[in-house]
Structure 1
């Protein structure tokens, strides 16, 4: 119920922000009697395309904590929590960022994630299963990987990439829809017909699938960068060992919410076409990339 509420609130916020922005910019209709106004259409698509990704970014910490039931460590209640706080503080100082919030989420699958709207107001969290089963140097490497994401500004950059992708998916779907609708209607008919809306709907799905390959490619690229940062902040040997441990536990069910999969250190991966749409490269490729740095 909480996730549904957050989803609805996010969408309402997107509509409100987008409507106000469009009114301030004076963008009302992009289709008129004289044809398609490409300038107004691009502004319209950009406002809606970026509004969703940026509002999600601003709400990312709240949504992550609620969806994963992450417990933020304010005051450590045991030796493990104190060690985790001290380790993250050391890594954050080494990376040149402010101390992020540190949390533990109750999942037995070995995973961790980082989120937040900027690198000095972030959250890093680790699953209880990883904390319990991994060796201290492996946990440290995992947290170094997440600190690497924060220091590299990956959450912001990924949101901007998603905003650009959203913009052009909406833009080109409406351009195609306009021309298809024009061909279907007689010349004396004004406005748009049902063909426009059907075509836009179909091509938003098609272009959205194609665009997801671009977003997934960028996400995989940033995983290699975060691994390199993790190796630098901890050690190459420890980072490789942590990824090998994740590889050994691959069969465990994925307990990360779908919206956070891209920000976790590990995700389930299938071969073939699914690999191209995955947010993470195969673990063996990540391990091979780190070994080349030795």
Structure 2
């Protein structure tokens, strides 16, 4: 229910922002041959979706994972967690993010937020219970690295570009099908809408490969940042622990797979759609830094 509500609320916000922007730009009307207006139209909707999602990313993450923000530490572990994040943030040159814990058995963590000085870093209860302090610190350093590198904003912008061209080429394809196959010369008919939706689905899947590729590249950068902040040995040890746990089948909720640093080895076509590289590759990359 919460996921549906978040989806509808996000789309409503996108429609409102896009509608106002299109009116201000005067491009709320275009024909099949007016590619300039069509591109602006697609860019507004494409970037609006990704930017709105970015701006509400912290709220969505808290709601979907059940993350509890630590405002006043109640235990020694919470106190240590806050102090560690504060120290890592200071060394990384960013403002102290919100710190939270989410209830999950699997070892996982995530960072999100619309800019590096207004972020959220959270770890699972399972990670805190089973990882050593040095390993937890390395995981936190990895997430701080994501924040300091501006990965959230960069990925949102890339997603906006991808959205723009998916919508643009899907509508060109829909217009071609409508005119060439359905012989519709008066506005847009049913053929246009069916072909456009089909093209958006296909192109959206293909375009996501680009976004996932970039996401995997940024994981290596975050590992490097984690190694600088927490030590290469600790970062490798944390990834090795994650690899050991990934070999044990644990069902991970859908709400966490989009955020977590835990990821196993994937080959073939499935590997193209992974947000994280194989842990073996990440470990080898860190060893090469020594």
- The structure-2 alpha-carbon separation of the partners of 1:133 and 1:199, relative to structure 1 and needing over 3 Å to count, comes to same
Unaligned 5+ segments in structure 2 are none
Does structure 1 residue 190 correspond to structure 2 residue 186?
yes
Cα offset, 1:219, TM superposition: 0.5
Cα offset, 1:254, TM superposition: 4.4
What is the CA–CA distance in structure 1 between the aligned matches of 2:240 and 2:148, rounded to whole Å?
Answer: 24
- The structure-2 alpha-carbon separation of the partners of 1:66 and 1:269, relative to structure 1 and needing over 3 Å to count, comes to farther
What is the CA–CA distance in structure 2 between the aligned matches of 1:103 and 1:252, rounded to whole Å?
Answer: 25
Cα offset, 1:252, TM superposition: 4.2
Does structure 1 residue 227 correspond to structure 2 residue 203?
no
What is the CA–CA distance in structure 2 between the aligned matches of 1:186 and 1:154, rounded to whole Å?
Answer: 46
What is the CA–CA distance in structure 2 between the aligned matches of 1:186 and 1:85, rounded to whole Å?
Answer: 65
Q: Which residue in 1 is equivalent to 2:108?
A: 111
Q: Which residue in 2 is equivalent to 1:10?
A: 10
Q: Which residue in 2 is equivalent to 1:41?
A: 38
Cα offset, 1:36, TM superposition: 1.7
- Matching residue within 131, 156, 161 for 2:158: 161
Contact (CA 8 Å) 2:50, 2:159: kept in 1 or not? yes
Cα offset, 1:179, TM superposition: 1.6
Does structure 1 residue 25 correspond to structure 2 residue 25?
yes
Q: Which residue in 1 is equivalent to 2:208?
A: 212
Q: Which residue in 2 is equivalent to 1:274?
A: 270
Match runs of 1:52-131 below 5 Å: 52-131=49-128
CA deviations on 1:85-116 (whole Å, 9 max, x unpaired) are 00000000000000000000000100000000
What is the CA–CA distance in structure 1 between the aligned matches of 2:89 and 2:138, rounded to whole Å?
Answer: 13
C-alpha RMSD of matched pairs (Å) = 1.4
TM-score (norm 1): 0.95
Cα offset, 1:263, TM superposition: 3.2
Q: Which residue in 2 is equivalent to 1:135?
A: 132
What is the CA–CA distance in structure 1 between the aligned matches of 2:253 and 2:240, rounded to whole Å?
Answer: 20
What is the CA–CA distance in structure 1 between the aligned matches of 2:3 and 2:163, rounded to whole Å?
Answer: 23
Q: Which runs of 4+ in 1 moved over 4 A?
A: none
Find the residue that maps to 2:8 and give its secondary structure: helix
CA deviations on 1:274-293 (whole Å, 9 max, x unpaired) are 01110000000000000000
Cα offset, 1:177, TM superposition: 1.4
Cα offset, 1:29, TM superposition: 1.8
Q: Which residue in 2 is equivalent to 1:180?
A: 177
Cα offset, 1:271, TM superposition: 2.3
Count of residue correspondences? 289
Cα offset, 1:25, TM superposition: 0.7
CA deviations on 1:225-262 (whole Å, 9 max, x unpaired) are 0000000010000000000000000024243544x534
Find the residue that maps to 1:113 and give its secondary structure: strand
What is the CA–CA distance in structure 2 between the aligned matches of 1:267 and 1:164, rounded to whole Å?
Answer: 26
Contact (CA 8 Å) 2:46, 2:164: kept in 1 or not? yes
Unaligned 5+ segments in structure 1 are none
- Matching residue within 242, 248, 251 for 2:244: 248
Contact (CA 8 Å) 2:141, 2:229: kept in 1 or not? yes
- The structure-2 alpha-carbon separation of the partners of 1:223 and 1:83, relative to structure 1 and needing over 3 Å to count, comes to same
